[in-house]
Structure 1
């Protein structure tokens, strides 16, 4: 049992002793109260006994004796009533009713009070009857004397006396007495005496049968018993209190002895610990320096001597900084250390020190002030560790990081440059192919040009994959958040792959369980890119059978019935499952299938082609959308991809899509005056041809500076501005047009850079829209249709130019 001294433990003991003392006081109070009621009821019992004796011996001689006895009876009744009321009132007090005055005592007092009231009424009745009896006797005596005086002759007196006794016994009375009124009165008083005497006997019999004394004795015994219990409890409490006090004082003495023993043991342990610490400090590899409050060295360990080359005697009484620091030590850090020491604050720092032989080395140092009980600084302890090798490693690592960042930046620059350089000729190839394809009537040439365009699209897709992967690596790929319905995704998927699957004899099944009216907010283009990549693989690796695409809403914070009332903050998880019956993937390749430049088998590239970037981009895009992607596959059976994407459900409807026009239809109904700013002649010709085929008037400028000079003299409805050009690039030229020339002409930026910075820079400069090279007819015509209203309202009349 743990009896270790604690203030809380002692308070508990004192509280326990206090409770015993309180119980003792309470027991004494209970004993006193019970004794009080016992004595009072014994007094009443004595009064009752005395009153009973008096009533039996009572003879009415004078009024005083009657009043004395009557007053005694009233006192008995008042005392009983007082005790009953006192007990009843005490019972209403919570403290007394809980442990002192019980309901039994109140009921007994109430019962005895009623009995005493009956008793006093009986005594009063007897008392009154005895007074009447004495009065009747006195009257009879006086009347007899008067009759005897009236009839003086002895013979007459004898006749009177005989007649009196005979009348009392209902004997025939002589006529002489019957006619006497006084004799008749005498007979009446004799009758009254007899009746009162009988009543007295009857009341005395009832009084005897009431056993009031026995009941009083029973009540007295009850109070004696209660008083005895209280005295016993008080005695037990007193003994317990003495025992508790004795135990407490014994425990205090024992605990004091134990505390002293423990204190001595702790002192011994401290001494042993100090010895161990001294030994550890003495031989620790870290340098430990102790100085006084002025900073002068008072003790150093052997680690100090090993690190600095100075002995204990050489360091004693000298400030460590004066001994170890030199010209290469950071002066600002020295000043910071000095300020912290002056303010008695701890400090951790790294500093350059010098060995006794002049060799520099780096230390990691912690200086801690030691304060006394009054809060005054008495010492400083410095712990130093040689971190020279770590510093060299950090410098080498920083150099490596810098080199890696430079390499990564060079790679990004290379990709951006190659993107521009590749897209520029690709723009010319695909642009001229589109122009020729729309111009030729020869079916053979048209088919050849379609093959050329498909090859160009494939090359563009590969280029986009590489650039997307580069963006993801650099965390530069940003997602849009625009409202859309899933029909916007499914329609182009169906239109693109239905014909491809039909050509291969593959069945394409698309099931959409998402309500058509439900709108979501997210990056529609990237979701479509994920589906296109997976479907492209499915079509590529499925020689026969079927491909299924399923859309479902597996978890939603709003029910389908409340689609129109859905909150903007509600989220929904969309499940997309793409299943094919193709060649499948072996199990040992599944875990690496999403790694970049990895394909299922080494023969895949030879048989089907591809870079191995498609699935890597799929996974990265899904992760960017806080989604999950997984795959199940069996070689020779087929593959199933599972995608879960969480999207925000919104009531905002997607903007209706502009109707797609064929390449031969008119993009805008009115001829425009267009200035094309392009330094590459091929791209200029392609863009010019696109515009002229629509009936627009076209002017050319080979760079931004030339475009500015032309705009000073001519007004145009549309400016198509290239980005990278000599003398003045497109972004600078756009800023001049907006900021200096204050022109509100619609400007389409045109760049081969696909990084978001290029688009953002163009828009920030004031461009209305940014086209990406290689320029596609559809995207160009879509841009014209998007700004049709502004272009027509600002259009200048110009003659239509025929296509050439």
Structure 2
């Protein structure tokens, strides 16, 4: 056998006294430089842990002894002894580091153990206490981040341990050796830059009562440690959360036919039970409130029997006086046979919530009581305010009627007197009286408008209108007034301004009218360049249908102080008392404008400095019609003859741009000889040089308009012009240019040219109620086509006389009824073409009179007579009240002759156009 193994195994055969008798070649190499090991004692070759005599006593078949080479003490071997009872003992030599993987003679149990250790990811270690040497398996080194070939001794391992754990390592190892305590502890060690936790276990091996070596394992427990830390954190977090929420847990397990109860300290604390009371169900039941005890215990018993969830809110008595309110819920678990086997639940202390709810209920009751009282007070205040508002409205309506009634007599009489021939002094007195009366009506209108806005009774209308035409009418209204004050009034229109928009023209006009009126009123003529008021109109599209009409109205007048600007739109507010004394006014105009702008959804901005003038920027939302109206093309070709380019001034540019809307093309020429005469051409002649030099050139073969600048206009010898009146070069509205071109077109068709200044007074009638300077009416001596006989119901003698004279002037005769009762009787007895009736009369008022007449007409099957209200009431709803009562039309006092003529013209078969 020895011969068969000599080439592969390091084996010695020794005698019973441990002298070497045979050896293999492999074994001999281990002892170099010893030449011959035959007859040498094992103690001469190896360093044994014990003395030879003691060591021999411990040897048995299969014994392993760790030794060091005598010639090289650092080299360690494991000696395996076999057949120790014979005269030839078989000794296998193996290096300690490779023994477990190279020893072919290891038994089956050893191999199983080795594989189990490797599969468990355990490192093996051995520490020789005598020689202070250590063995570490490759897995051990791998676990601590070292390669298998790395040199590692016991001291190096201790130094690698985390410095805080090193004392523990040495202390526990010493206790294990000295006192026999179990060697089992954990330490930290840095592996590839990361701290790992390791579990270190070991057991000492004794020979002859003396510890020779310690064997053990090393396991990486970092993952388990992290899990424990996380679990501890979670448990601590849960515990804190449960304490913060005053939440306890409870459970019960069914064993045989009994339920074993348990709950945590938090639940015990909620019911203020003693420590030994945990799990004692009887103590818990004893702490329940008497009113809740039966209900709660029965519900718990039902859940334990049926498996249904337990959920109750109940009270507990603490120390027989304090009450705790809790909410408890438990879920029942079933066994494999479907029977209730356990219940787990929580109990939540809701005492604070209960107390807060009670306080909240008390507060709510008090609050509800206060709200009820306050609501009653508010309802009473609302009723009182509504009553006061109705009283105010009735008062304003009455005052409107009472003021307009005498004003009707004054203004109507002045209208009639203006139609008579008066000398210059009397005419001046008449104009003064007329202006004063109209100013008074304007103030009255402002007061009524303000009342309407403040009461929310002002309603906006929406209908198509021409912004250019509206602006032109405003300019025409103020031209004479501005000229009298030496104020240069100019207007600049946006070329993009559409021909027609949708909105409330009357209210937009009222706003612009008021601001322009103030600008002229507060203008200063002693400034360099004179007093100026400029109106700039811009058109800004915001979307498909909505746009903004922006008016910038500027002046170089007295300006407004910053502290006054903040309250400028407050009713009855003006800059200073001295301004009121000097310029007049009530201070209502801008207040009404501001409220109207707010009502329209617009905005107004003011930029002003005292002594430098003011600029009001008014932005009004305006709707565009779905289909845009286009201006009529009046001429195919419009010739432009000018001694200066049309781009040289703003006025010429505006004139040129306006003309483009009414012709197919504009041809700029330098001489009349370039004109090609057709039926569809016209000429625009602009002269900025001495007008005398071009008088002979004024006449042309086609209709023309002549525009002169201020200097040329002043030097023009008007007697030389027999067929035309030239116009001054000044910014004009698109509407005004269109009117001039329309009249030029008409003159071409009629064969005559009369291009005097346009005076379309019909467009100004709607402005008269807003103007603080009323124009005198035209002479209306009307020829009638047959007398019309109407009935007048009016209780005021002065108004009777005035209306009779106004009707007479219009060629209409009338019968007079002093009240509604007389009017009804006269209506029944005679046929009339129309009834003019006051609304407020004794006996029977105008509203009741109308209803009685309509009822009579229905019974007698008579045709309905036109009924027109003539009243001083001008509040919102007055006109609707008249129409709802059965009237056909409405005229507000003071009644002007022109307004009366227009109204009667709608209902009487008469020609008022003559």
Normalising by the residue count of structure 1, what TM-score does the alignment of the two structures yield?
0.50
Q: CA deviation at 1:297?
A: 12
What is the aligned partner in structure 2 of residue 116 from structure 1?
A: none
How many residues in Structure 1 have an aligned counterpart in Structure 2?
A: 457
For residue 839 of structure 2, what is the aligned residue in structure 1? Answer: 723
Q: CA separation in 2, counterparts of 1:429 and 1:791?
A: 26
1:768 aligns with 2:749: no
1:553, 1:572 within 8 Å by CA — same for their partners in 2?
A: no
Mapped pair 1:425 → 2:406: yes
Contact 1:576/1:643 (<8 A) preserved: yes
Structure with greater helix share of residues = 1
Residue in 2 aligned with 1:588? 563
- After superposition, the C-alpha distances for 1:70-100 in whole angstroms (9 at most, x for unaligned) are xxxxxxxxxxxxxxxxxxxxxxxxxxxxxxx
Partner in structure 2 of residue 493 of structure 1 = 474
Which residue is equivalent to 1:600? 575
Matched, 1:734 2:850: yes
Structure-to-structure mapping, 1:157-306, within 5 angstroms? 262-271=237-246
Q: 1:718 to 1:605 in 2, by over 3 A?
A: same
Structure 2 distance, partners of 1:447, 1:419, is: 29
Contact 1:663-1:777 at 8 Å conserved across structures: no
Contact 1:721 1:747 in 2 (8 A): yes
Task: Report the equivalent of 2:665.
Answer: none
- Corresponding residue of 2:801: 685
Matching residue within 583, 604, 611 for 1:629: 604
Deviations 1:384-413 (A, max 9, x none): 123466655555455444444433333222
Residue 746 of structure 1: aligned partner: 866
Q: Structure 1 residue 552 and structure 2 residue 532: aligned? A: no
Distance in 2 between residues matched to 1:277 and 1:389, nearest whole Å: 38
Mapped to 2, the partners of 1:405 and 1:585 lie a distance apart of: 38
CA distance in 2, matches of 1:719, 1:427: 18
Deviations 1:600-632 (A, max 9, x none): 123111211111111111111111111111111
Q: Is the 8 A contact 1:542 1:580 kept in 2?
A: yes
Q: Distance in 1 between matches of 2:500 and 2:855?
A: 40
Report the Cα distance in structure 2 between the residues aligned to 1:739 and 1:756, rounded to whole angstroms.
27
Shift of 1:573: 0.9
The residue aligned with 2:908 is 791
The answer to whether the 8 Å contact 2:524/2:531 transfers is no
- Counterpart check, 1:523 vs 2:523: no
- Residue 679 of structure 2 aligns with which residue? none
The 1-side partners of 2:824 and 2:378 are apart by 50
| 1:476 is the counterpart of 2:441 | no
The 1:784/1:507 distance shift into structure 2, 3 A limit, reads same
Q: Which sections of structure 1, spanning at least 5 residues, go unmatched?
A: 1-234, 236-245, 279-295, 300-368, 559-568
Out of 589, 595, 602, which is 1:620 matched to? 595
With over 3 angstroms needed to count, the CA separation of the structure-2 counterparts of 1:669 and 1:480, relative to structure 1, is farther
CA positional deviation for 1:264: 4.1
| Residue in 1 that maps onto 2:747 | none
- Work out the CA distance in 2 between the residues paired with 1:542 and 1:297: 93
Report SS of the residue matched to 1:666. Answer: coil
1:500 Cα deviation from its structure 2 partner:
0.8
Task: Find the aligned partners of 1:709 and 1:276 in 2 and give their Cα distance.
Answer: 99
Aligned pairs (5 A) from 1:66-105: none
Residue deviations 1:295-337, cap 9 Å, x none? x9979xxxxxxxxxxxxxxxxxxxxxxxxxxxxxxxxxxxxxx
Once residues 274 and 424 of structure 1 are traced to their aligned partners in structure 2, the CA distance between those partners, rounded to angstroms, is 90
432, 442, 445: which one aligns with 1:451: 432
- Cα distance in 1 between the residues matched to 2:524 and 2:267: 83
* Structure 1: distance between partners of 2:270 and 2:822: 83
CA shift in 2, pair 1:257/1:507, >3 Å: closer
* CA distance in structure 1 between the partners assigned to 2:827 and 2:880 by the alignment: 24
Q: 1:298 to 1:470 in 2, by over 3 A?
A: farther
Superimposed CA distance per residue, residues 450-508 of structure 1 (whole angstroms, 9 cap, x where no aligned partner): 21111110000111111111111111111121211023322332222111111122211
Distance (whole Å) between structure 1 residues aligned to residue 827 and residue 238 of structure 2? 98
Decide which of 367, 381, 384 is 2:362's aligned counterpart: 384
User: 2:268, 2:798 → 1: CA distance?
Assistant: 89
Query: Is 2:452–2:458's contact at 8 Å kept on the other side of the alignment?
Result: yes
**Aligned-residue offset at 1:643:** 0.8
Structure 2 unaligned residues grouped into runs of 5+: 1-118, 120-220, 248-265, 272-288, 293-324, 331-353, 631-759, 766-776
CA–CA separation in structure 2 for the residues paired with 1:277 and 1:399: 53
Distance in 1 (alpha carbons) for counterparts of 2:269 and 2:407: 79
Change in 2 beyond 3 A, CA 1:265/1:759 = same
> Does the C-alpha gap of structure 1 residues 634 and 267 become closer, same or farther in structure 2, counting only changes over 3 Å?
closer
Q: Shift of the alpha carbon at 1:766?
A: 2.5
RMSD across aligned positions (CA): 4.4
For 2:241 and 2:899, the matched residues in 1 are separated by 87
Higher relative contact order (CA 8 A, sep 6+): 1
Report the 3-state secondary structure (helix = DSSP H, G, I; strand = E; otherwise coil) of the residue aligned with 1:639: strand
Change (3 A) 1:526 1:549: farther
1:506 and 2:487 matched: yes
Matches within 5 A, 1:570-589: 570-589=545-564
CA distance in 1, matches of 2:489, 2:267: 83
Q: Distance in 1 between matches of 2:898 and 2:599?
A: 29
Q: Is the 8 A contact 2:821 2:844 kept in 1?
A: yes
Residues 504-550 of structure 1 deviation map (CA, whole Å, 9 limit, x = unaligned): 22211122235676111111111111122112211221131333343
Q: CA 1:517 to 1:629, structure 2 compared with 1: closer, same or farther past 3 Å?
A: closer
State the Cα deviation string for residues 25-64 of structure 1 (Å, max 9, x = none).
xxxxxxxxxxxxxxxxxxxxxxxxxxxxxxxxxxxxxxxx
Mapped contact 2:781–2:809 kept (Cα < 8 A): no
TM-score, length basis structure 2: 0.45
Deviation at 1:719, TM superposition (A): 1.9
Partner of 2:814: 698
Q: Give the Cα separation in 1 of the matches to 2:231 and 2:554.
A: 83
Distance 1:495 1:602 in 2: 31
1:643 to 618, 622, 635: 618
Preserved contact between residue 663 and residue 778 of structure 1 (Cα < 8 Å): no
Instruction: Please tell me whether the aligned partners of residues 598 and 613 of structure 1 are also in contact (alpha carbons under 8 angstroms).
Output: yes
Contact 1:583–1:635 (CA<8 Å) still a contact in 2? yes
Aligned equivalents of 2:488, 2:270: Cα separation in 1: 82
Q: Distance in 1 between matches of 2:833 and 2:495?
A: 44
The answer to which structure has the higher strand fraction is 2
Contact residue 485 and residue 516 of structure 1 kept, 8 A: no
Q: Is the partner of 1:756 in helix, strand or coil?
A: coil
Q: Against the structure 1 CA distance between its residues 658 and 667, is the aligned structure 2 distance closer, same or farther, given a 3 Å change threshold?
A: farther
Give the SS at the match of 2:624.
strand
**Partner of residue 77, structure 2:** none
Correspondence for 2:898: 778
User: What is the rounded CA distance, in whole Å, between the counterparts of 2:856 and 2:629 in structure 1?
Assistant: 39
- 8 Å contact from structure 1 (residues 581, 639) kept in 2: yes
1:425, distance to aligned residue in structure 2 (A): 0.9
**How far apart, in 1, do the equivalents of 2:856 and 2:536 lie?**
52
Q: Partners of 1:593 and 1:452 in 2: how far apart?
A: 30
SS at match of 1:384: helix
Asked if 1:406 is matched to 2:384, the reply is no
| Residues in 2 aligned to 1:260 and 1:774: alpha-carbon distance in whole angstroms | 93
**Could you say what secondary structure the match of 2:460 adopts?**
coil
Seen in structure 2, the aligned counterparts of structure 1 residues 395 and 439 have a Cα distance that, compared at 3 Å, is same
Q: 1:480·1:522 contact (CA, 8 Å) conserved in 2?
A: yes
Q: Is the 8 A contact 1:431 1:775 kept in 2?
A: yes
